[in-house]
Amino acid sequence: MLCADWRTRCRLFKDAEADRAFFRDILGFRSVDAGHGWLIFAVPAAEVAFHPHDQNNKHEMFFTCDDLKVQVAALQKKGVQVGKISEERWGARTTISLPGGGAIGLYEPKHPVTFERIS
């Protein structure tokens, strides 16, 4: 099960229609039409973290999962391009390629989380 680790109202992508279809059809997120085909997606539990950086307004979005290797295999079965897994101090991570050319992070945290895990 994927959980959002950072929530935002708006993400900007070059091919928003393809990325909306990906969130709806591949990741299976429920959505509502806000009008004129603008889909707003419900994502499970969310967290936000603030890390030091030399610039403001830098944002990254990661989905979390309980077992990264299992989640990667499930995504690859659906034809999703997934990056190389790397081990970090805070968790194992990779990227999910979006049809519009963007990418979203996916990781299995090693740290405590604020949301209730769903099994």
For residue 59, what is the domain's CATH number? 3.10.180.10
Report if residue 23 sits inside a domain.
yes
- Rounded to an integer, what distance in angstroms lies between the CA atom of residue 105 and that of residue 116? 20
Report if residue 119 sits inside a domain.
no
Domain count, the chain: 1
How confident is residue 111, by pLDDT bands cut at 50, 70 and 90? confident
- Rounded to an integer, what distance in angstroms lies between the CA atom of residue 86 and that of residue 63? 15
Report if residue 59 sits inside a domain.
yes
Structural domain of 83: 3-109
How does pLDDT run across 30-76, given as a tens digit for each residue? 998 888 888 888 877 666 777 788 887 777 788 888 899 999 999 99
Report if residue 114 sits inside a domain.
no
Query: Does the pLDDT at position 8 exceed 90?
Result: no
β pairing state of 103-109 and 91-97 = antiparallel
Q: Could you report how far apart the first and last alpha carbons of the chain are, in Å? A: 8
Q: Are 60 and 6 in contact (CB under 8 A)?
A: yes
Whole-number mean pLDDT of the chain? Answer: 82
State the pLDDT at residue 6.
41
Specify the pTM.
0.75
